[in-house]
Structure 1
Amino acid sequence: MLKKEEWLLIQVLHSQGFCISEIARQIDHDRKTVRKYLNLKTAPESCKRPTRPSKLDPYKPYILKRINEGPCASACLYLEIQNMGFDGGKTIVKDFIRKAKLDEIPGLLR
């Protein structure tokens, strides 16, 4: 998707009399792309994609509870939630535990 500035540049160049092929060469895009954006009446707007649920979401409360109970290794927690039905990888668990432990340290500057 082109940025708003590029869309404006296409509009300006076209209003100055440049053909689609010449505009495409100047902005280094395909002429079909230039034609597509010339046909738009308003500037293109990007839209946020919806966030997908994580495989770890159902197990996060359990992990947080176990962290609050006392020290526990991420490998140990990974095995526990794997026995509960988690089919994700170790890294997502380690990253979540690391972030959860950092969040509970008061006064930590990030």
Structure 2
Amino acid sequence: MLRLQGLQAEGKGWREIARETGHSKNTVKKYLRDGHPVEAKRRPQRRTKLEPFIQQIEQWMSEGLFNCVAMKQRLEKMGYTGGVTQIKAFVHPHRPPRQVQAKRRYETKPGQQAQIDWGFCEEQDENGRTHKVAVFVMVLGYSRSIYVEFTRRCDIHSFLRCFIHALEHFSGVPKFGLTDHVKTVVIGRNDDGTPKWHPLFEDFVLTVGLTPKLCRVRVPQTKGKIERGVGFVKDNFWPGRRFTGMADLNRQALTWCQHRM
């Protein structure tokens, strides 16, 4: 009320006062002329497109999923029609702090290198007991295309089976395959210091025409793409994942990989 009088005292007319206060011209005129009180306008709060899915997002965050792009892809299947910006704005205050050190990026030419490694995810059975699930991951050095396959075991036979499936998925064989010092690849050192390859792995790479290479010991940066790839599976694909068995899980993983090629 006093504000309207103050604006009038400043020499402003009814139209200008109406524009500044949001009231209609007739309302302003009536108050200033007759002294009737004017109630402030209350704008109704808009219901955002994200609001119906807040509970689901909070559940994903409690399970460790904070990747907003992954959330958007899942929410779209549930009927969400908004953008990723709304999701980021909601998730950001809840995101755990992350310290990242700058590293020199090592690039390779197309078809030159693939990086391969095992990772482990955890699942709970119906009794609440936790079990580890092995995951084979291959990342192409140039395109960053990824192949993922889950297994109950990570022995040499599972490793080679996943390796073949990965080459089939990429429809080709890279020149080099960079791996960690795992027993499915190397079983020791020869007298001259060269790697002593696992015989089944050595036969395999000779057959497909791939040259194996080992990353430097205790220097994970030499295989940074696969380190990030395994982490990406754990942070993006795995949290909140529901599946009926290993076959169903790998069907979902393959669809996830194809979506990123």
**1:43 equivalent in structure 2:** 37
Give me the TM-score of the superposition, normalised by structure 2. Answer: 0.28
* 1:9 to partner: Cα distance: 6.3
Preserved CA contact (<8 Å) 2:4 2:32: no
Preserved CA contact (<8 Å) 1:56 1:93: yes
**2:53 equivalent in structure 1:** 59
**2:81 equivalent in structure 1:** 87
- Identity of counterpart residues, as a percentage? 26
Tell me how far apart the structure 1 counterparts of residues 54 and 7 of structure 2 sit (CA, whole Å): 48
Preserved CA contact (<8 Å) 1:74 1:97: yes
Matches within 5 A, 1:1-16: 4-7=2-5, 10=8
Tell me how far apart the structure 1 counterparts of residues 34 and 61 of structure 2 sit (CA, whole Å): 53
Preserved CA contact (<8 Å) 1:63 1:77: yes
Preserved CA contact (<8 Å) 1:7 1:43: no
Give me the TM-score of the superposition, normalised by structure 1. Answer: 0.60
Structure 1 residue ranges without an equivalent (≥5)? 14-25, 106-110
Matched, 1:70 2:54: no
Tell me how far apart the structure 1 counterparts of residues 45 and 30 of structure 2 sit (CA, whole Å): 29
Tell me how far apart the structure 1 counterparts of residues 7 and 81 of structure 2 sit (CA, whole Å): 49
**1:29 equivalent in structure 2:** 13
Tell me the alpha carbon deviations over residues 57-82 of structure 1, each in whole angstroms, 9 at most, x when there is no partner. 11111000000101431111011101
* Residues 31, 84 of structure 1: alpha-carbon distance in 2 compared, 3 angstrom cutoff: closer
Q: State how many pairs are aligned.
A: 87
Tell me how far apart the structure 2 counterparts of residues 40 and 90 of structure 1 sit (CA, whole Å): 51
Higher helix share: 1
* Residues 72, 35 of structure 1: alpha-carbon distance in 2 compared, 3 angstrom cutoff: closer
Preserved CA contact (<8 Å) 1:55 1:86: yes
Aligned partner letter, 2:37 = A
Q: CA RMSD in A?
A: 3.0
Q: Secondary structure at the match of 1:39?
A: helix
